[in-house]
Amino acid sequence: MIFTSPREKGDRGDLHPCYQPLWTLVGGGQFNLADSGKPISCLMPKSATHVKENVSSFQPAENKITLESGSTLNYDALVVAAGLELNYAGIDGAREALKEDAKVCSNYSPAYVLKTFPAIKSFKGGKAVFTFPPMPIKCPGAPQKIMWIANDIWKKDSSVGEYQLEFNTFLPVIFGVPKYAEGLMKLVESENVNLNRQHTLVEVDHLSSLAKFKKEDGEIYQTNYDFLHITPNQRPLGIFREDESQLTDAAGWVSVNEKSLQHSVYENVFGVGDCTSIQTSKTAAAITSQHAILCDNLNKFFNKEKLAEDYDGYTSCPLVTSQNTCIMAEFGFGGEVMESTFLNQGKNRYSMYLTKRAAIPFIYWQLMMRGLWAGPKPLKPLTNPFNWN
């Protein structure tokens, strides 16, 4: 087994993968950024050879990948799990604003997430603007989770004067699954959020504290901000955008059968996670289910058996709605609700917040990383025996 990863070093002098779902709570002042990562040496299976180098291109017809140094590696089977690229540069002035304006922050990158809580604490009233870029993005709930956390902090802080929340989203709805959108719309109304649908951030002029959005009809809407949380544009990695190897679809996502995770052309190539063409919400939760199917199908591939087509699109988005409540969205392909518990998960619940804050990180580091977690489905006969949704 050979595993490649980038050369970058983390602040503990080791390669440092992160559990990104925690960054919502880092931005909300509930966790330290360092607590979201672990040195990769702790996680690497003993049987694996770790090549600390980026892949620069794929030659699937020759069962080969090329590394940045120019050397090549051959494989019998290849799993592509390279994530996606954050494209802050796709929004004019966003990088400058994130560097120079203390009022501008973004939970999506470790480079900027530490700006979020100080910006929340410095806000003393006025207009707080939150953005949601064109789809697909990872964790489509995260752009609004930070709004609800910030709102809860500001409501309880007597030094904060009058303020207006504004959520500008590329989407025509607050959330893509009606069951969860219903609970979120109640919040939008009770918290008097100015919800601008089909408004995409295109420019930030931090010298004038101005954010500009393109509306569906092409017109520009602009507003001043006293706090701005940016969710960046997102796209396939450069290695896929420039890929002439047929690994990707026209948009640059690794093209796989979304039920078996096998590549649509090369039968010894598999894809998992954010880099793939799978039509479900890009989340770590989705990967918990995908990786179980991936492992099973890799074994089947090596044993020359028929692959299982079992992935149902399971994904989950813990929609944190305050500093201690959460709507736990769980759904599959086509937005089919797939809740793991018998509770109505469309409601705000403290128990679901604890699940997001404590249980899921534990599952991620202690179970999933050791191959002991295949998503919540196997437990469902116990936790939701009558399949209430």
Ligand X SMILES: Cc1cc2nc3c(=O)[nH]c(=O)nc-3n(C[C@H](O)[C@H](O)[C@H](O)COP(=O)(O)OP(=O)(O)OC[C@H]3O[C@@H](n4cnc5c(N)ncnc54)[C@H](O)[C@@H]3O)c2cc1C
Long-range contacts of 176-183, Cβ-Cβ distance < 8 Å, separation of 24 or more: 176/140, 176/281, 176/335, 177/329, 177/331, 177/335, 177/337, 178/335, 179/329, 179/337, 179/346, 179/389, 180/317, 180/319, 180/327, 180/329, 180/346, 182/346, 183/321, 183/327, 183/346, 183/347, 183/348
* Nearer CB in complex with ligand X: 108/130: 108
How far apart, in whole angstroms, are the C-alpha atoms of residue 210 and residue 310?
48
Find the residue with minimal CB distance to ligand X: 273
Residues near ligand X, by CB under 6 A: 4-6, 17, 20-21, 23-24, 54-55, 81-83, 107-108, 138-139, 142, 237, 239, 273-275, 282-285, 287, 316, 318
Beta carbon nearer to ligand X, 81 or 184: 81
Catalytic annotation on 18?
Answer: no
Q: Which is nearer to ligand X, 93 or 141 (CB)?
A: 141
Q: Name the catalytic one among 105, 275, 317, 326.
A: 317
From 18, 42, 105, 139, active-site residue: 139
Cα–Cα distance list, 342 to 380, 382, 386, 387, 389 (Å): 9, 10, 8, 7, 7
**d(Cα 24, Cα 39) in Å, to the nearest integer?**
21
* Closer to ligand X by Cβ: residue 7 or 186: 7
φ/ψ of 202, rounded to 5, equals: -120, -20
- In angstroms, the first-to-last Cα distance of the chain is 40
Question: Least separation, in Å, of the C-beta of 281 and ligand X?
Answer: 8
Closer residue to ligand X (CB): 6 or 178: 6
Closest listed residue to residue 286, CA positions, set 270, 274, 271, 269: 274
The answer to whether residues 243 and 269 touch, using CB atoms and an 8 Å cutoff, is no
Q: Which is nearer to ligand X, 79 or 211 (CB)?
A: 79
**Least Cβ distance, residue 53 to ligand X (angstroms):** 7
* Minimal distance, residue 29 CB to ligand X, in Å: 14
Query: Smallest distance from the beta carbon of 324 to ligand X, in angstroms?
Result: 16
Cβ(100)–Cβ(139) under 8 Å? Answer: no
Measured between alpha carbons, how far is 24 from 152 in angstroms, rounded to an integer? 14
317 is catalytic: yes
Write down the least CB distance from residue 21 to ligand X, Å. 3
- Least gap, CB of 220 to ligand X (angstroms): 27
Catalytic positions are 139, 317
